[in-house]
Structure 1
Amino acid sequence: MNSPLLLVVEDDTAVSNLIGTTLKMENYRFHTASTGRQSIVEAISQKPDIVLLDLGLPDIDGIEIIKKIRSWSKMPIIVVSARSDDKDKIEALDNGADDYITKPFSVEELLARIRAALRRASYMASEKARNPVFINGNLKIDYAAGCVYVSNIEMHLTPMEYKLLCLLAGNVGKVLTYTYITNSIWGNAWDNNVASLRVFMATLRKKIEKDAAAPQYIQTHIGIGYRMIKID
């Protein structure tokens, strides 16, 4: 069986060589791209298992690369960037990035994030194969199509809102702690940043709940986390 294939998108030769050497030592296969246009061509033609993406590319900003890839694929994207502000992390993650590592980084951390992304992708693939459609009351998630419906009306969720909803749906009836949710969605990108999680959860509720103040589907457990309520 072939080892996972990674696409390294990085215009800094030293950083690209460091990542490439690290991946080679761990027996990962990889391709490299130094521009946004090249990265899109490689992503389409090679269909990598993970994309390691720098945001500061010379021709196209990395956020635009995330948007373009997300328009046709759910392949895991790990941002590796020198941008350290929360607003940059939020923008990348909300547009579909799966994780975010700030430069400078340790190779051990990078490898841990890669392993976590591969585990999440494998779990999601197996869940979708077993249960291609999730239905709870008037809420329906079509995993194959990546669509969400409430009372047969399609809801237009952001990638981050969709990930949160799928995580809760996959654990319906269970209380998920803030730490579990943030680690499952973003790895350790925000080190359990509960405030940011609450913002994303609030926007999700506005779209799927009739009354966000009296939620039917997503219940808050104050100081602990959230739970998807099972509707008979």
Structure 2
Amino acid sequence: MAQARVLMIEDDQLITDPVLEALQTAGYEVLTAADGRRGLELALTRQPHLVLLDIMLPQMDGWAVCKAIRSESTVPILMVTALNDEVDRILGLELGADDYLTKPFSTRELLARVRATLRRVAFEHQDDKPPTELTIGDVRLDLEARRAFKGGRELQLRYKEFELLSLLMGRAGEAVSRPELFDEIWGTDWLGDTRTLDVHVRWLREKLEDNPGKPVYVQTVRGIGYRFIAPDEV
């Protein structure tokens, strides 16, 4: 899967540093600009997949940057700002922004917005219908019937186990972070025990792996999360 490139136009280093770290940990390539003019230049020359745009910027404010980008590009723009009046949100959307996030915010919420925006754009631009089946090696998922098979044998998966396997297989070879797995499978408002993810991974391995104690398909990526490894990568 190609690495998505995110451009962050923000002049507050106290915000830039933690957001940059969170985005890079989540697997994104990140470009940064501390003023509007430099941000506009990068937006038009480096072709990011998403722009995170502050409003109160030196050289050129976010409103002008948003308008200039939109006149040249359809790249999705997520405005990130301390201005939270309704009129500000409406103005941003009318100038072409795709979403609006007010400060202060958590990096977890920002990542959820980034992922949702990128997924929506990818869906809107695809020519074909979403796949109804996913096959990697001898593991096959029927996404419509919600059935999983390995070597022709059906796996009796719980609802969350199927969600976990389909997410990992859909991004085979990519390390998917624990926060992202929770956001995608349990929802951003999950307040339960975080060990539930590890329990579901263990259950999934018991049904999928020949030796659950030495997993081949669902591997742990220390300090990050999990990934599904295709047989030809093992």
Into which bin does the TM-score normalised by the smaller protein fall?
0.5 to 0.7
Matches within 5 A, 1:100-119: 100-119=100-119
SS at match of 2:83: coil
1:60 shift after superposition? 1.1
SS in 2 for 1:121: helix
Question: Does the Cα contact within 8 Å between 2:36 and 2:62 map onto a contact in 1?
Answer: yes
* Equivalent residue runs for 1:44-123 within 5 Å: 44-123=44-123
In structure 1, distance between residues paired with 2:36 and 2:61: 7
5 Å-filtered alignment, 1:162-181, equals none
| Aligned partner letter, 2:42 | E
User: Deviation at 1:2?
Assistant: 2.7
For 1:123, the aligned partner's letter is F
Looking at structure 2, the residues matched to 130 and 109 of structure 1 have their Cα atoms a distance apart, in angstroms, of 30
Aligned to 1:19: 19
Deviations 1:116-165 (A, max 9, x none): 10011101111xx469xxxxxxxxxxxxxxxxxxxxxxxxxxxxxxxxxx
Count residues in correspondence: 129
SS in 2 for 1:71: helix
Question: Residue type matched to 2:39 in 1?
Answer: S
Query: Equivalents in 1 of 2:30, 2:2: separation in Å?
Result: 12
Amino-acid identity (%): 42
> Which residue is 2:9 aligned to?
9
Q: Which structure 1 residue ranges, 4+ long, deviate > 3 Å from structure 2?
A: none
Residues of 1 paired with 2:93 and 2:25: CA distance? 29
TM-score calculated relative to the size of structure 2: 0.54
**What are the equivalent positions in structure 2 for 1:35-50 lying under 5 Å apart?**
35-50=35-50
> RMSD between aligned alpha carbons?
1.3
Amino acid at match of 1:19: V
- Structure 2: which amino acid aligns with 1:78? L
The Cα of 1:4 is off from its aligned counterpart by 0.5
Q: 2:82, 2:18 → 1: CA distance?
A: 15
Query: Radius of gyration: which is bigger?
Result: 2
What is the deviation of 1:46?
0.7
Provide the residue aligned with 2:175 in structure 1. Answer: none
Structure 1 unaligned spans of 5+: 132-232
Q: Distance in 1 between matches of 2:18 and 2:9?
A: 13
The match for 1:217 is none
- Partner of 1:156 in structure 2? none
Q: Which residue of 1 aligns with 2:196?
A: none
Contact (CA 8 Å) 2:44, 2:73: kept in 1 or not?
no
C-alpha separation between the residues in 1 aligned to 2:11 and 2:123?
32
In 2, the alpha carbon distance for the partners of 1:130 and 1:25 equals 31
State the match for 2:197 in structure 1. Answer: none
CA distance in 2, matches of 1:116, 1:9: 19
Distance 1:90 1:53 in 2: 15
Counterpart CA distance in 2 for 1:27 and 1:40 is 23
